[in-house]
Amino acid sequence: MVVILLGPPGVGKGTQAVRLADSVGWEHVSTGDLLRAARRAGTELGRKAQAFMDAGELVPDSLILDLVRDHLKGIPPEAGILLDGFPRTTAQAEGLDGVLEAVGRRVDQVVVFEAPDEELIRRLSGRRSCPECGAVFNVHFTPPKQEGICDRCGAALVHRADDKAETVENRLKVYAAQTEPLIEWYGRSEAAVVAVSAEAPVDDVQREFRKAVGH
């Protein structure tokens, strides 16, 4: 099964994907995480992506498609896949169809997470991320046991540079202009499109998400 998690920045795609992947053993593929890892490793891709990410703009489609193509190659053909933060444009969606078709697969389901902008802004202003293991916390909702320290690996938590108010505003605009149209695009495809309200606490959203994907 190939499932796309679609939704604006801060809606909880990563939080929900990690929980489901951990519990059912599916592969979680987050292009944001892959790009941040490339930046930390100082690769050419990381250097090229940096300015786009810091400005809250999308990284060019060609770079993203190469990254995803390479990453998907390493996933066994029978594994369930949760795509988080990809695709974000119709060009990426078309590219993904080609990559999946080559291995006899297709997008089975698109889950659209929804929450009002005020809630997204609150979540992103409180988000603290672990640069080492990728764990995500929130000073308002799910604080770490020790302030500023990752519960999972003990590294110092960071407030992502692109979670600053002015960048968040741009990311929301970019989502509305370039990614939201994918909901209609997938509505015309064979994939099932299901909306899940992401306003409730994390466990409640997870329950709805699991119902939507039949787990």
Active site residue 160: yes
CA distance 210 to 60: 32
**HEC letters along 66-96:** HHHHHHHHCCCCCCCEEEECCCCCHHHHHHH
Given the residues 19, 36, 39, 88, the one annotated as active site: 88
CA distance 189 to 101: 14
Given the residues 19, 123, 127, 128, the one annotated as active site: 127
Binding pattern for the stretch 67-96 against ligand AP5, x by CB under 6 A and - elsewhere: ------------------xx-x---x----
Q: Site for ligand AP5 (CB under 6 A): which residue of 58, 112, 150, 193?
A: 58
Binding pattern for the stretch 28-47 against ligand AP5, x by CB under 6 A and - elsewhere: ---xx--x------------
Query: Are the C-beta atoms of 132 and 119 separated by less than 8 Å?
Result: no
Tokens representing 44 are 């050419």
Binding pattern for the stretch 116-155 against ligand AP5, x by CB under 6 A and - elsewhere: -------x--xx--------xxx--xx-------------
Tokens representing 162 are 């692109």
Active site residue 171: yes
CA 171 to each of CA 104, 117, 186: distance values in angstroms, whole numbers, following the listed order: 34, 11, 22
CA distance 183 to 160: 27
By the rule CB under 6 A, 185 interacts with ligand AP5: no
- Chain residues binding ligand AP5 by CB under 6 A are 7, 9-15, 31-32, 35, 52-53, 56-59, 64, 85-86, 88, 92, 123, 126-127, 136-138, 141-142, 162, 171, 198, 201-202, 205
Active site amino acids: 13, 88, 127, 160, 171
